[in-house]
Amino acid sequence: MSYQDKDLETFEKNTPHGSDPFVAGGNTDVAPGLVSTTSLSAGEQKPPVRKSILNGLFSKGSKVYPLRLLKDKIMSKLMLVFTVASVLILVFIGVGLYLHSVPILQKLTWVQLLTSSVWKPLKGLFGFYPFIMGTLWVTGISIIIALPLCILTALYITEYAPLRVKRILSPFVNLLSGIPPVIFGVWGVLFIIPLIQDHIAPHFVEFSTGYSVLAGGIVLAVMIFPLIVSIISEVFRTIPQDLRDASLSLGATKWETIKKVVLRKALPGIIAALVLAISRAFGETIAVLMVCGNNAAVPHSVFDPGYPLPALIANNYGDMMSIPLYDSALMFAAFLLFIIILLFNIISRVILARLERKMAA
């Protein structure tokens, strides 16, 4: 053994991790043991002995990994496992919900389930049509209210508002997004329901309790404000200033520039935000459960009560184990929600990712 080798050995023991950065993964024929306790006195011609069983584990063939490289390896594998596992949640949710809705799918076909309006769990009749319609009504109303308001707000924040106003406004959007759904529900019960019952509905229909798809729509609209505003203003910000300047220099007013340049350019982004907002509204549970009236009938006007799918799932978890096929039916409802929302999310994320890439290029 050469002088240099012995030197390495001592270095090895003195470094904190018992490893040597300079031979990281490399120097193999000498193989300074990781936990080798061999002490070499000067001039001794004894090759380092691998005493520990760990040595055998840590070394690959003739290669020996210093501890820190090994740590890196282990961490990388561990992280890979975590990453794969957390991504697989998506798959597991889909498969799990599908497997549990198989019993009801064996008894009734998809078409029957989706188009029948008869909901009599005790007789084994599960028609999801009223619930799907309830969801669509509520979602539709919320989007009709929220989208124009949010586009205008986002335009104001990005195009018009002075910096000072911007600084004050943006925290509110975040604060609004932090409010939990159940608080929106309470607010709906305390504020929106009486408002509809006493001030809006009497102008249009003879009687309404206030618990209606309109109430659900309004509450949902407020809930999706922050989401739409933040995405759309992000999209507006990605539009190059040059385009605006070009339009303005041709004598267009600011609004004309917005109308003909900004909005047109931002259209894909707005669609992505819209799709994302729809999927958010689709899955919202507790707030709509509290204000929609939960009547299993197809709503015919905005003042009719509705019964959206998520509310159905949440409301019946108590007795779902006691009635045959009921749990399967509810899991089918969850599966339906999952699939629709998954699709919508993927669509909007792909559009947004493309926009982002276009901007980066």
Partner 1 sequence: MRKRKYEELFFRALMVLATIAVAGSFFLIVGTIFYKGAPYMNLDMITKTPGGGFYIGKEGGILNAIIGSMYIAGGATILGLLISIPVAIYINMYLDGKTFLANILRMTFDVLFGIPSIVYGAFGFLIMVYFGLRASLLGGIIAVTLLVIPILVRTLDEVIRTVPLELRDAALSLGSTRWEMAKVVLRQIRPGIITAILLSFGRAIGDVASVLFTAGFSDNIPTSLHEPAATLPLAIFFQLSSPVEEVQGRGYASALVLTIVVLIITVLSEVFIKKFFKHKI
Query: Least CB distance from residue 283 to partner 1, whole Å?
Result: 2
Q: Where are the alpha helices (DSSP H) in the chain?
A: 3-14, 53-58, 67-107, 110-115, 129-155, 163-178, 181-187, 193-195, 213-238, 241-249, 254-257, 263-283, 286-291, 309-315, 326-360
> Beta strands 63-64 and 119-120: pairing type?
unpaired
| Residue 43 or 318 with smaller CB distance to partner 1 | 318
| Residue 50 or 280 with smaller CB distance to partner 1 | 280
Query: Least CB distance from residue 45 to partner 1, whole Å?
Result: 31
Sign of CA dihedral 302, 307, 308, 310: positive
Q: What is the distance between the alpha carbons of residues 49 and 198, in angstroms, rounded to a whole number? A: 90
| Residue 51 or 77 with smaller CB distance to partner 1 | 77
Asked whether 70 and 297 are in contact (CB, 8 A), the reply is no
Query: Least CB distance from residue 284 to partner 1, whole Å?
Result: 7
Q: Which residues contact 56 (CB under 8 A, 6 or more apart)?
A: 50
Query: Least CB distance from residue 25 to partner 1, whole Å?
Result: 10
Q: Could you tell me the CA-to-CA distances from 198 to 22, 192, 286, 292, 315 in Å, in that order?
A: 80, 10, 24, 16, 27
| Residue 54 or 343 with smaller CB distance to partner 1 | 343
Query: Least CB distance from residue 79 to partner 1, whole Å?
Result: 4
| Residue 40 or 263 with smaller CB distance to partner 1 | 263
**Six-digit token string for 297:** 């009938």
> Beta strands 59-60 and 63-64: pairing type?
antiparallel
Q: Could you tell me the CA-to-CA distances from 3 to 14, 319, 348 in Å, in that order?
A: 17, 80, 65
Asked whether 223 and 284 are in contact (CB, 8 A), the reply is yes
| Residue 36 or 279 with smaller CB distance to partner 1 | 279
Q: What is the distance between the alpha carbons of residues 275 and 54, in angstroms, rounded to a whole number? A: 55
Query: Least CB distance from residue 43 to partner 1, whole Å?
Result: 31
Query: Least CB distance from residue 187 to partner 1, whole Å?
Result: 5
| Residue 46 or 71 with smaller CB distance to partner 1 | 71
Query: Least CB distance from residue 193 to partner 1, whole Å?
Result: 12
| Residue 50 or 329 with smaller CB distance to partner 1 | 329
Q: What is the distance between the alpha carbons of residues 139 and 277, in angstroms, rounded to a whole number? A: 9
Query: Least CB distance from residue 310 to partner 1, whole Å?
Result: 5
| Residue 38 or 156 with smaller CB distance to partner 1 | 156
Q: What is the distance between the alpha carbons of residues 228 and 279, in angstroms, rounded to a whole number? A: 12
Q: Could you tell me the CA-to-CA distances from 14 to 10, 17, 21 in Å, in that order?
A: 6, 8, 12
